[in-house]
A = this chain, B = another copy of it.
Amino acid sequence: MTTALRVTVWNEYRHEKSSTHPASKIYPEGMHSAIAQGLREYPGLEVRTATLDEPEHGLTDDVLANTDVLTWWGHMAHGQVSDEIVAKVHARVLDGMGLIVLHSGHFSKIFKRLMGTTCDLKWREADDNERIWVVEPGHPIAEGLGETIELADEEMYGERFDIPAPETLVFVSWFKGGEVFRSGCCYTRGRGKIFYFRPGHESYPTYYNPEVRRVIANAVRWAAPSAGPKPVFGNAKPRQ
């Protein structure tokens, strides 16, 4: 019997609360609700949500200790995420918690801290169409997909994306306006697995797309903690 994987879907949840912003119509209950709903379509996942304006951003010690994989969406309020919470999330990732960073989360404190780079990129809000190509079709995160995911309207993100070269590059995006982007990037930091997935601008219904949902569910499973050895550091006696 396998235990359910405990997923916490974190969202900044600001755009959606502004009645004049398109996100308030597309995601009236917040993007986290749509992402969580998508994950609940898959068996074996126990999903809860947490948002910026909750106490401790909804990421208390207890929540973090009981999260196997955390997904992260943020955009306009990265700076309001407390450094203390970021340090706790960082420690949990190194200890094995999976982390799925979505779209504008590329500029979150936690992603930049884990990557060590600026994580900067090109962007354009212009209803570009995006075609996400699977370049590593044997990878578990590509399970159940076709050759491409077609998104009729999305924000463009273009290279140079200032990240460490991913350990595995699963997806590359094509944009009508002429750009490409490394859209699905796997990393290991400490014992934790990290996946960055590009699409998901707040002004488009991307998180209702079944293939996007599939990718996030696949990524959550891929990033599940493994019960490997807890590293022992510090002064050590000879083994021989």
Contact = CB atoms under 8 A, between A and B. Distances in A.
Contacts of A165: 136, 167-169, 188
Interface in A210-240: 225-240
A179 interface: yes
A172 interface: yes
Contacts of A234: 120, 122-123
Given A94-B117, A229-B147, A232-B160, A240 B138 contact: no
Given A94-B117, A173-B180, A164 B161 contact: no
A164 B188 contact: yes
A21 interface: no
In the complex, the count of this chain's copies comes to: 4
A187 interface: yes
Nearest to A233: B120
B145 A229 contact: yes
Interface of A: 94, 96, 113-118, 120-124, 126, 128, 131, 133-140, 142-148, 156, 158-162, 164-165, 167-169, 172-180, 182, 187-193, 225-240
Q: Which 8 pairs across A and B sit closest by C-beta, in order of nearness?
A: A178-B239, A138-B191, A177-B238, A142-B228, A160-B231, A137-B228, A120-B233, A122-B236
